[in-house]
Amino acid sequence: MSVSEMFAALQGALGQDQDIREEIRKVVQALEQTAREILTLLQGVHQGPGFQHIPKKCQKAREHFATVRTQMESLKTKFPADQYYRFHEHWRFVLQRLVFLAAFVVYLESETLVTREAVAEILGIEADRERGFHLDIEDYLSGVLALASELARLAVNSVTAGDYSRPLRISTFINELDSGFRLLNLKNDSLRKRYDGLKYDVKKIEEVVYDLSIRGLNKEATVGAGGEK
């Protein structure tokens, strides 16, 4: 084979690779649009009246996740199944965003932490990497850390809306989350930096709880929560 033939073959391989990346990019753009729609919907819970409509907003968000699952099925067909990590960077960010959104919906519904397996089911992908297109552990953890930041914001807005018990529950949840992350030996630089930000979320929520205590509203919140149970 001549040099020109060799490089012609290489160009053909590069062209095929570029075609794959372009097809992936189109689907990822659609996923990003759906993620923005879900985020816009859920941001409504931060408004005063939004607390009264949390169940309805979560239901609508679940409907949007049906679209996500369809888009994920399309994405799976755009590249060879054994080359997941070769193209992973193309969808890593949007997948982390979708993990966060799924985790936020589950928290709003039940005030619990969604499992990686449950997120994978919501998104229509696998939890086990051996089964193909899957939810990478680090992508799951990144999404959970984004949830912590959102809940810190929710704690502040809860007080503004007159819901004094929610910040106490968020504080308990975030502290449990922090304890869980402390069990991990994080070596990924990006994930480690995000985890370092969790301490600021913990501090922000503690300040909210402290303010409620100073104002005597924590007792009212505790009594109210006890009455609900």
Judge if 160 and 55 occupy the same domain.
Answer: no
- Does the residue 2 lie in any domain? yes
**How high is the pLDDT of residue 105?**
98
Judge if 19 and 49 occupy the same domain.
Answer: yes
In angstroms, the Cα distances linking 167 to 64, 92, 109 are: 28, 31, 16
CATH code of the domain covering residue 65: 1.20.58.190
Judge if 8 and 83 occupy the same domain.
Answer: yes
Judge if 83 and 18 occupy the same domain.
Answer: yes
Q: Is 73 annotated as a binding residue?
A: no
**How high is the pLDDT of residue 222?**
57
Give CA angle at 138 (137, 144), nearest 5°: 95
Residue 102 phi/psi, 5-degree rounding, is -65, -40
Residue reference for tokens 């859920």: 42
Judge if 107 and 167 occupy the same domain.
Answer: no
Final residue before a domain boundary, out of 53, 83, 116: 116
- Does the residue 43 lie in any domain? yes
Structure tokens at 111: 């005030």
- Does the residue 125 lie in any domain? no
CATH code of the domain covering residue 193: 1.20.58.200
Judge if 149 and 107 occupy the same domain.
Answer: no
Final residue before a domain boundary, out of 116, 146, 178: 116
Judge if 68 and 100 occupy the same domain.
Answer: yes
Give the chain's domain count: 2
**Secondary structure of residue 126 in the 3-state scheme:** strand
d(CA 48, CA 159): 10
- Does the residue 127 lie in any domain? no
Residues 152 and 205: beta-carbon distance below 8 Å: yes
- Does the residue 109 lie in any domain? yes
d(CA 68, CA 73): 9
Residue 2 phi/psi, 5-degree rounding, is -75, 165
Judge if 63 and 166 occupy the same domain.
Answer: no
Which distant-in-sequence residues (6+ apart) come within 8 Å of 204 by Cβ?
152, 155, 156
Judge if 99 and 8 occupy the same domain.
Answer: yes
- Does the residue 226 lie in any domain? no
- Does the residue 122 lie in any domain? no
Judge if 80 and 17 occupy the same domain.
Answer: yes
Judge if 141 and 109 occupy the same domain.
Answer: no
Q: What is the pLDDT along the chain (229 residues), one digit of tens a residue?
A: 788 878 777 777 777 888 899 999 999 999 999 999 999 999 999 987 777 889 999 999 999 999 999 999 999 999 988 899 999 999 999 999 999 999 999 999 999 999 999 999 999 999 998 888 999 999 999 999 999 999 999 999 999 888 899 999 999 999 999 999 999 988 767 888 889 899 999 999 999 999 998 888 766 655 455 444 3
Q: Quote the domain boundaries for residue 103.
A: 1-116
